Amino acid sequence: MSGSHDRLMDSIYRRQRHIYDLSRKYYLLGRDGLIADLAPPKGGAVLEIGCGTGRNLIAVGKAWPNTRLYGVDISEAMLETARMSMGKAGMADRATLAQGDACSFDAEALFGRATFERVFISYALSMIPDWRGALVHAARHVAPGGRLEIVDFGQQEGLPGLWRRALFGWLARFHVSPRGELPGAISALAADMGGFPHSRTLYRGYAVRGGLIRI
Ligand SMILES: C[S@@+](CC[C@H](N)C(=O)[O-])C[C@H]1O[C@@H](n2cnc3c(N)ncnc32)[C@H](O)[C@@H]1O
């Protein structure tokens, strides 16, 4: 799976990455709220899975200056942009970026550590075919007492049906499928591994926020 999915992501983002941050600002909603709520402990480690252009990690680095930043993404094209942007932001020495599949990356091998105080996934689960596998894999990397946080497209339940159909049709062209079962999957995962789950909709269902605190 990983072999063809990385090529697919590279093909989508090879050119898109140059306009990605500017264009996504208007429709990947809820990312900054997630970052503001992260509140990692001083000196803590923050991992973004599906880190894309590094836009979120840079915002985390600015909001929480004493953190160590880690990012993994399946697309080398996106990582190339992320490395450049993080360098420009003066964060190269506190950030480690690596290519890997959200469902199977080896954190020890890539980052020299197995757990992180905060792990987050922003608008990536909707692009990962085995999103449940990615969710479980992400939770495994949360340190005890740490948090997993997620933001992604919601089910648009508070918005007109026509809007929902148009948005879902448009997203499908980019291999994006909003995961209606995400809140249930988070609760099941928290029950399974020991943790406190949460989830809520944002902007009348445009987006969904969820996550868990690991015991
Ligand atoms: C819509 S972008 C979101 C990027 C960033 N998180 C943000 O909020 O701007 C989705 C990202 O997930 C990455 N991605 C998709 N499938 C992945 C997988 N299986 N493992 C790791 N990253 C993946 C893509 O390459 C892309 O960079």
Q: What pTM did the predictor assign?
A: 0.95
Kindly report the average pLDDT of the chain as a whole number: 95
- Predicted confidence (pLDDT) per residue in 38-84, tens digit: 999 999 999 999 999 999 999 999 999 999 999 999 999 999 999 99
Q: Measured between alpha carbons, how far is 185 from 198 in angstroms, rounded to an integer?
A: 11
Alpha-carbon separation of residue 88 from 49, 73, 145, 204, 208 (angstroms): 21, 19, 33, 36, 31
How far is C-alpha 158 from the geometric centre of its chain's CA atoms? 24
- Contact assessment for residue 141 and residue 193, using Cβ atoms and an 8 Å cutoff: no
Pocket around ligand 1 at a 6 A CB cut-off: 5, 9, 13, 24, 28, 31, 50-52, 55-56, 73-75, 78, 101-103, 122-124, 127-128
Residues 6+ apart with CB under 8 A from 129: 1, 5
Q: What is the DSSP letter of 94?
A: G
Where are the domains positioned within the chain? 2-214
Give the pLDDT band of residue 21 (cuts 50, 70, 90): confident
Superfamily of domain 2-214: Vaccinia Virus protein VP39 (3.40.50.150)
